[in-house]
């Protein structure tokens, strides 16, 4: 590398990871550094030049796509020209095929990498199938059968989540999109330090002040799919023909990157699947009957017929980005979301609310206020006064909530709560079998059998259970069979990635043209991290 010894490298790494631009310049000019440490880099710019040498022209390059959105509102600055308002946008992104090549060829992942699907069984007779990693699911087998023999599939796992950058003033927002591959084990994905998930790009976050309210919503859909189509165009080609790649075990394989999973919250799932936000993005259930127990999966053709109808009426509808991706099906791509759908949604927002109405808030708070027990969280002020909920609090409540209900509620309430709690614990298993998936269906049936009690006792004031997050439980069994256990696809992961790839990156900029500066800062961070792992590997 460009550093004379280990000590100088450690100093450079510390400066890049922990010190801002201006502070780094001041640090390098301190007399004790100039006279005694005497690093090869004497200025901030020389430091970054050394870091750039680590890349040696390699790495995953950033691209910028600029475009103007012309609205339907007249430009007030020049009324005589009859021009419409426009908004200039930039999208920074990287080639997903290059990212796949980087991940599948990283020798650090050699021991946690799979190149073909397998079937696991828990018994000698082969009747108790096991589902945990992605390569144990049925989706990989189905796609493998469509492709030429001996090719390698790289299942693409995309995640995105809009996040706020500015804390107290301003309205700075970023929309990061992340990419990883299903060939790498889920435990490795969970380790943020492994860098098994790579930033794919930043989607533009427009103000849309050049559009009227009538077309604003449609333009939001169009812009998202237009941007994702640009980003994913290389996958459309490589998914049809394959791309030779050097893999982590040093063998060259013909790799087909196939879009498999999109991890997103409910509003974004609706945006991606081109459905309204009161509908299920996976199946065709009527919004007024989504509390029922009989889902019917969407097909691509259903959505395309709807889009063709609007196009015939001369409504500007941009084709969905997933339409160009071979062998993909967006309507099975939305994996279970344990955090938002179960812990926060079904349990905290609905079940706890209903039971609190039935039992009374005072009794619920008193029960949680009781003396603590080893291994259990003590809610010393009850639960009504907690302002900031996290997944940890939800899980601690779930450990004792059924006992509380048994002591204060009727049998139907107990059975309904028992069904939901059992469902959450079963869905959270890190490895499933045919038996556990059967139990998952049984406990869901139990909840639906007894849920009527909440409307009879007027705890569910709306009088129905047409709630998207409750309906989402209908799809858990099928999705786990397709892609492996649900813990590998939690939306908590992109939220954690925001710290490094969005918030810290933003703080390192001058707050002007911040997306471009964020990409440069991240490039330096990635160069340091990769070189560190390389030194550890050799």
Q: Which one, of 59, 23, 63, lies nearest residue 44 by Cα? A: 23
Whether 305 shows a pLDDT value over 70: the answer reads: no
List for the chain the helix, strand, coil content (%; round to 5).
Answer: 55, 15, 35
pLDDT at 44: 83
Three-class SS string for 225-284? HHHHHHHCHHHHHHHHHCEEEECCCCCEEEEEEEEEEEECCHHHHHHHHCCCCCCCCCEC
Mean pLDDT of the chain: 86
pLDDT at 260: 97
Give the mean pLDDT of 250-271.
Answer: 95
Least confident of 66-80, 235-249, 338-352, 474-488: 66-80
Query: 36-90 pLDDT, tens per residue?
Result: 888 888 888 888 888 878 776 667 889 999 988 877 777 776 666 677 777 788 9
Sequence-distant (≥ 6) Cβ neighbours of residue 229 within 8 angstroms:
318, 319, 321, 324
Residue whose entry in the numeric block shows the structure tokens 């059992």: 422
| Backbone phi and psi for residue 257, each to the nearest 5 degrees, phi listed first | -75, 115
Whether 16 shows a pLDDT value over 80: the answer reads: yes
Confidence of residue 369 (pLDDT cuts 50, 70, 90): low
CA distance 480 to 427: 9
Whether 381 shows a pLDDT value over 90: the answer reads: no
Give the mean pLDDT of 398-413.
Answer: 88
CA 76 to chain centre: 40
The DSSP bridge pattern shows strands 252-263 and 152-160 to be parallel
Q: Give the 3-state secondary structure of residue 356.
A: helix
Q: Where are the alpha helices (DSSP H) in 124-265?
A: 138-146, 186-190, 213-231, 233-241
Confidence of residue 176 (pLDDT cuts 50, 70, 90): very high
Query: 419-462 pLDDT, tens per residue?
Result: 999 999 999 999 999 999 999 999 999 999 999 999 999 898 88
Residue whose entry in the numeric block shows the structure tokens 């918030």: 503
CA distance 507 to 166: 9
pLDDT at 81: 67
Q: What is the DSSP string of 369-428?
A: HSPP-TTS---TT-STT--S--HHHHHHHHHHHHHHHHHHS-HHHHHHHHHHHHHHHHHT
Confidence of residue 404 (pLDDT cuts 50, 70, 90): confident
pLDDT at 170: 63
pLDDT at 186: 94
pLDDT at 390: 73
Q: Partners of 261 in the beta sheet?
A: 157
The answer to whether 87 and 208 are in contact (CB under 8 A) is: yes
Whether 166 shows a pLDDT value over 70: the answer reads: yes
More confident residue, 385 or 450: 450
Query: 97-145 pLDDT, tens per residue?
Result: 999 999 999 999 999 999 999 999 999 998 999 999 999 999 999 999 9
More confident residue, 392 or 431: 431
Other Cβ atoms less than 10 A from the Cβ of 446: the count is 17
59-81 burial code (b ≥16 CB/10 A, e <16): bbebeeeebebebeeeeeeeeee
pTM of the full predicted structure?
Answer: 0.89
CA distance 33 to 14: 14
CA 426 to chain centre: 22
Q: Sketch the domain layout of the chain as residue ranges.
A: 6-55, 62-335+489-537, 340-486
Confidence of residue 276 (pLDDT cuts 50, 70, 90): confident
CA distance 369 to 165: 37
Whether 159 shows a pLDDT value over 90: the answer reads: yes
Whether 486 shows a pLDDT value over 70: the answer reads: yes
Query: 204-253 pLDDT, tens per residue?
Result: 988 777 777 777 777 888 889 999 999 999 999 999 999 999 999 999 99
Q: Partners of 88 in the beta sheet?
A: 68
pLDDT at 200: 96
| Backbone phi and psi for residue 462, each to the nearest 5 degrees, phi listed first | -75, -15
* Burial of 89 per CB tally in 10 Å (0-12, 13-18, 19+): middle
Whether 343 shows a pLDDT value over 70: the answer reads: yes
* Dihedral angle over CA of 187, 526, 492, 511, nearest 10: 170
Give the mean pLDDT of 492-504.
Answer: 82
CA distance 524 to 482: 38
* Dihedral angle over CA of 251, 253, 258, 263, nearest 10: 0
CA distance 405 to 399: 12
Whether 297 shows a pLDDT value over 70: the answer reads: no
More confident residue, 530 or 72: 530
CA distance 170 to 167: 8
More confident residue, 463 or 167: 463
Percent of the chain at pLDDT above 70? Answer: 89
Whether 371 shows a pLDDT value over 60: the answer reads: no
pLDDT at 155: 98
Confidence of residue 386 (pLDDT cuts 50, 70, 90): low
């Amino acid at each position: 590398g460009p550093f004379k010894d280990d000590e100088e490298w450690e100093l450079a790494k510390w400066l890049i990871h922990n010190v801002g631009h201006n502070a780094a310049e001041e640090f390098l000019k301190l007399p004790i550094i100039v006279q005694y440490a005497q690093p090869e880099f004497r200025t901030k710019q020389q430091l970054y030049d050394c870091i750039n040498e680590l890349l040696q022209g390699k790495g995953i390059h950033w691209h910028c796509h600029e475009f103007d959105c012309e609205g339907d509102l007249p430009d007030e600055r020049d009324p005589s020209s009859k021009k419409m308002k426009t908004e200039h946008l930039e999208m920074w992104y990287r080639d997903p095929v290059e990212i796949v090549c980087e991940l599948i060829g990283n020798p650090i992942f050699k021991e946690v990498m799979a190149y073909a699907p397998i079937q696991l069984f828990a018994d000698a007779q082969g009747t108790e199938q096991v589902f945990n990693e992605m390569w144990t699911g049925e989706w990989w087998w189905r796609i493998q059968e469509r492709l030429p023999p001996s090719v390698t599939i790289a299942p693409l796992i995309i995640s995105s989540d809009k996040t706020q950058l500015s804390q107290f003033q301003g309205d700075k927002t970023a929309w990061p999109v992340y990419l990883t591959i299903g060939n790498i084990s889920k435990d490795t994905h969970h380790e943020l330090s492994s860098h098994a998930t790579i930033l794919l790009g930043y989607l533009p976050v427009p103000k849309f002040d050049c559009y009227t309210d009538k077309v604003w919503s449609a333009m939001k859909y169009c812009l998202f799919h237009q941007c994702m189509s640009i980003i994913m165009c290389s996958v459309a080609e490589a998914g049809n023909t394959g791309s030779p790649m050097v893999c982590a075990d040093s063998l060259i394989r013909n790799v087909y990157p196939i879009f498999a999973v999109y991890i997103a919250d409910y509003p974004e799932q609706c945006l991606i699947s081109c459905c309204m936000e009161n509908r299920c993005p996976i199946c065709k259930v009527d919004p007024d009957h989504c509390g029922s127990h009989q889902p019917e999966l969407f097909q691509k053709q259903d959505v395309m017929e709807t889009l063709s109808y609007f196009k015939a009426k001369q409504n500007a509808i941009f084709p969905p980005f997933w339409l160009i991706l071979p062998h993909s099906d967006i309507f099975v791509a939305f994996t279970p979301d344990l955090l938002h759908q179960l812990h926060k949604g079904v349990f905290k927002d609905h079940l706890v609310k209903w039971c609190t109405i039935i039992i009374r808030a005072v009794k619920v708070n008193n029960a949680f206020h009781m003396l603590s027990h080893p291994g259990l969280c003590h809610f010393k002020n009850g639960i009504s006064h907690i302002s900031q909920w996290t997944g940890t609090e939800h899980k601690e409540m779930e450990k004792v909530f059924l006992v509380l209900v048994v002591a204060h509620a009727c049998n139907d309430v107990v059975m309904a709560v028992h069904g939901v709690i059992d469902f959450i614990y079963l869905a959270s298993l890190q490895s499933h079998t045919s038996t556990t998936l059967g139990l998952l269906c049984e406990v869901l049936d139990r909840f639906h059998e007894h849920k009527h009690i909440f409307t009879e006792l007027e705890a569910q004031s709306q009088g129905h259970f047409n709630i998207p997050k409750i309906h989402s439980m209908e799809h858990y069994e099928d999705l786990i069979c397709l892609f492996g256990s649900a813990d590998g696809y939690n939306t908590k992961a992109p939220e954690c990635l925001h710290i490094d790839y969005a918030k810290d990156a933003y703080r390192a900029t001058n707050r002007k043209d911040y997306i471009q500066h964020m990409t440069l800062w991240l490039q330096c961070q990635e160069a340091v991290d990769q070189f560190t792992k390389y030194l550890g590997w050799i």
